[in-house]
Amino acid sequence: MTITTEQRAADTIRVLSMDAVERANSGHPGMPMGMADIAVVLWSRFLNVDPTDPTWADRDRFVLSNGHGSMLLYSLLHLSGFPITMGDIKEFRQWNSETAGHPEYSPQVGIETTTGPLGQGFGAAVGMAIAESRLRAVHGPELLSHHTYVFCGDGDLMEGVASEAASLAGHLELGRLVVFYDDNAITIDGPTELAFSEAVPARFDAYGWQTLTVDGHDRDAIASVIAQAIAEEDRPTLISCRTDIGYGAPTKHGTAAAHGAPLGPGEITGAKETYGWELPEFAVPDEVYGFFTDAMGRGIDERVAWEGRYREIAEREPERVARFDAMWDPDPVALSAPDAEAGSLVATRVQSQAVIQQLAEKRPDVVSGSADLAPSNNTLIEASTDFSAKDRTGRNIRYGVREHAMGAVINGMVQHGGVRPFGGTFLIFSDYMRPSVRLAALMGIPAVYVWTHDSIFLGEDGPTHQPVEHLASLRVIPNLHVIRPCDPTETAAAWEHAINRLAGPSALILTRQGLRVPDEAPDRAAVAAGGYVRRPGDRAVLLATGSEVGLAEEAAALLADEGHSIRVVSMPCVECFNDEPKSYRDEVLGEGLPVFTLEAGTTDLWRGFTANGGVAIGIDRFGASAPASVLAVEFGFTPEAVADRIRAVLG
């Protein structure tokens, strides 16, 4: 039997995947073996990427949402000439290897996003497609015009985040989004029929997608449906690919045994015999390297042509190119505190709204969004329209009631580049976004979240909507900066920090209720340190955040009348404060002084700050439905009650 080079390329992916998983004694060989034919067709005939310039702006994006099959991606990257070596393949799942168990965000080697938590890659890809369509509309197709391709499996489509993202993509008519569904009818537990019997194409038809079906091992048929998908400009496309998991394995193909464990030497030997494979472990035929080198020539040519267009436009329309460049590499921005009358009561969500308008004017790459709560979150960019199927230039994204998808889509937009998104919802619903937030922190990408209605003081909606544990739970996510401002200066500083920070995500935690605007604004440099002395004192320290800073100042004033000099410390960002030198932290908190903390939430974190007999004043139970003023009395969040807690210790 004659084996074509294209067939040999697909078999090479299968063999590398089997061998790497076997050597690691850990991994998922079945999906790479089943999707190898689809991958080879896409990468060799359609995908425009350049291994010599992996982060070229107008490259096609490829997302492996079913990231457990990571050896498929690593094999493709290695064979195509990206900086994944055979040594990396041999070190699959080992310490410090580029080939982690699931793909980890590394655009310089061709990995566009971290995947593994199922559905997250799908959602991120929708974000990439949104970014592409907006940039194409704003700057013109000569500067940006590409496709986003996604591989996903049954697990991705069972997760709710993918359903939300697919619904949004259909509504927005993202025609340059193409998803390959690996319909292999197998999950870890066994056949999908154990838990999954829906008609997936019919569901996506209802979402407004084009749906196509193909034999996932018929490469010419695969090429035909990809061409159909690319031709469809007004709808995203789902291609259902019927495949055999563990393709070629003598006894484990088509079974759950091929999903998430090494196949074993006997099964690997049998599979290689099926492929007619006679080379030793980790050997790649020269013809396969040549095949992928030739295929990558298409992307290299596209990148060279793009650079030519870029230069021509730069000569003809320098301002247009300058605007384009500024979207990809914007300068840091300085933001001033919004005007507010001293003594007036203004919610930090309202203060934030004013800062957003200032930010939007200075940074055209910034886009807003909210999960159907824009009037409550105060997130709209007032001078802009909505991003929609009819208007791709709009800067306000209406996510609908889809917090899960919003988090994943934000990640994808950030990773695409050229767009800096933020998304808003109530703090209580950050729970719905948590997997995406965790991934943003893990990837170190600068996503921004606006979470309002931050405490029991939203009042009558009751404990279902009153976050008490959320601040603590978010602060334990490594690399997430949680910022809870208390006044206009802190709110502007919070936005400035969030938008200029590039090493990870930031969350702005904002109030529903009005807070008193201070008579004198705090020092901006001190605010930037994350924690600073708001009111001097040498008898004890009362540390507070957000809406409780004003309460702390009132309690300190009561105690001052009794001769107790209480230092009030505002700490809008614990993470920033902890990054300051110990000498500064000791200076702010005082050495040997009793330290009390005050925040309308759980106290676990704050018990680490209390010292010398001080206590953490908070709420270690769920809230209640009542007016905010009543809740303040019942939960001990009045100046008198706080003063009593401190007085009991000081005597």
**DSSP, res 193:** G
Phi, psi (rounded to 5 degrees) for 542: -120, 110
**How many angstroms separate the CA atoms of 551 and 135, rounded?**
46
pLDDT at 366: 98
The reported pTM is 0.98
* Rounded distance between C-alpha atoms, residue 355 and residue 379, angstroms: 10
**Terminus-to-terminus CA distance in the chain, angstroms?**
93
> Is residue 477 in a domain?
no
- Residues contacting residue 435 through CB under 8 Å, at least 6 positions apart: 117, 120, 161, 404, 407
| Cα 170–chain centre separation | 21
Using CB atoms within 10 Å of the CB of residue 552, give its burial: 0 to 12 exposed, 13 to 18 middle, 19+ buried.
buried
Q: CA 474 to CA 495: how far, in whole Å? A: 18
- Main-chain dihedrals φ then ψ at residue 483, nearest 5 degrees: -120, 120
- Does position 153 have pLDDT exceeding 80, yes or no? yes
- Among 98, 403, 490, 496, the active-site one is 403
Cα distance between residue 453 and residue 431, in whole Å: 14
Q: Edge-to-edge, what's the strand order for the sheet holding 506-509?
A: 386-387, 396-398, 366-370, 420-426, 448-452, 506-509, 481-483
* Predicted local distance difference test score (pLDDT) of residue 231: 98
Question: Which residues have a Cβ under 8 Å from the Cβ of 315 and sit 6 or more positions away?
Answer: none
Structural domain of residue 192, as residue ranges?
A: 5-276
Domain boundary among 254, 276, 298: 276
Among residues 276, 304, 325, the one where a domain terminates is 276
Task: Quickly state the pLDDT bin for 474 (edges 50, 70, 90).
Answer: very high
Cβ-based neighbour number of residue 560 at 10 Å = 15
CA dihedral 536, 541, 542, 543 (to 10 degrees): 90
Type of residue at 98: E
In this structure, is residue 489 part of a structural domain?
no
Domain assignment present for 344? no
Mean pLDDT of 109-138: 98
- For residues 136-149, b (16+ Cβ closer than 10 Å) or e, as one string? bebbeeebbebbbb
pLDDT at 651: 83
Q: Which of 550, 548, 565, 411 is nearest to 480 (CA)?
A: 411
Q: Residue range 138-152: average pLDDT?
A: 98
Question: CA-to-CA distance for 590 and 535, rounded, in angstroms?
Answer: 13
- Mean pLDDT, range 33-42, rounded to an integer: 98
The C-alpha R_g of the chain, in whole angstroms, comes to 28
**412-451 pLDDT per residue, tens:** 999 999 999 999 999 999 999 999 999 999 999 999 999 9
Per the domain annotation, does 417 fall within a domain? no
The total of structural domains in the chain comes to 2
Active site (annotated) includes residue 403: yes
Question: Residue 435's closest CA among 160, 93, 150, 103?
Answer: 160
Hey, how many other C-beta atoms are within 10 angstroms of the C-beta on 362?
Answer: 14
Q: Are 101 and 115 in contact (CB under 8 A)?
A: no
**DSSP state at residue 82:** S
| Helices assigned H by DSSP within 178-285 | 200-207, 219-231, 265-275
Tokens of 315: 């000569």
pLDDT of residue 79: 98
Of 456, 460, 458, nearest to 468 by C-alpha is 456
Question: Residue 85 corresponds to which amino acid?
Answer: T
Query: Does the residue 534 lie in any domain?
Result: yes
Coil, strand, or helix at residue 436? helix
3-state secondary structure of 190: strand
Predicted confidence (pLDDT) per residue in 495-519, tens digit = 999 999 999 999 999 999 999 999 9
Q: What is the spatial distance between Cα 425 and Cα 201, in angstroms, rounded to a whole number?
A: 31
Within a domain: 253: yes
**Dihedral-angle region of residue 225 (phi above 0 means left; psi in -120 to 50 means alpha; beta otherwise):** alpha
- Averaged pLDDT score across all residues of the chain: 97
CATH number at residue 586: 3.40.50.920
- Number of continuous H segments (helices) and E segments (strands) in the chain: 24, 21
- Residue 465 domain flag: no
In this predicted model, what pLDDT tens digit does every residue of 391-418 receive, in sequence order? 999 999 999 999 999 999 999 999 999 9
How far, in Å, CA of 16 to CA of 73, rounded? 11
Q: What is the pLDDT of residue 297?
A: 98
Which position has the token pair 């294209």?
A: 6
Sort 294 into a burial class: Cβ within 10 Å, 0-12 / 13-18 / 19+.
Answer: exposed
Is the pLDDT at 1 greater than 90? The verdict is no
- State the helix-helix crossing angle for 120-139 and 403-416, rounded to 10 degrees: 60
pLDDT tens for residues 573-627?
999 999 999 999 999 999 899 999 999 999 999 999 999 999 999 999 999 999 9
Give the domain-ending residue among 240, 255, 276: 276
pLDDT in tens, 164-215: 999 999 999 999 999 999 999 999 999 999 999 999 999 999 999 999 999 9
* Chain centroid offset of residue 376 CA: 23
- Check whether 230 has a pLDDT greater than 80: yes
Nearest residue to 477 via CA among 422, 444, 437 = 437
In a domain, 40, yes or no: yes
Q: Is the pLDDT of residue 2 over 90?
A: no
pLDDT reported for residue 105: 98
Q: How does pLDDT run across 270-324, given as a tens digit for each residue? A: 999 999 999 999 999 999 999 999 999 999 999 999 999 999 999 999 999 999 9
Share of the chain above pLDDT 70, in %: 100
> What is the CATH classification number for the domain harbouring 193?
3.40.50.970
**How far is it, in rounded angstroms, from Cα 237 to Cα 223?**
14
Report how far apart, in Å, the C-alpha atoms of 285 and of each of 5, 90, 217 are. Answer: 10, 17, 21
What CA–CA distance (Å, rounded) separates 540 from 10? 70
Note whether 542 and 566 are within 8 A (CB): yes
Q: Which one, of 292, 179, 279, 193, lies nearest residue 237 by Cα? A: 179
**Pairwise CA distance, residues 356 & 379, whole Å:** 7
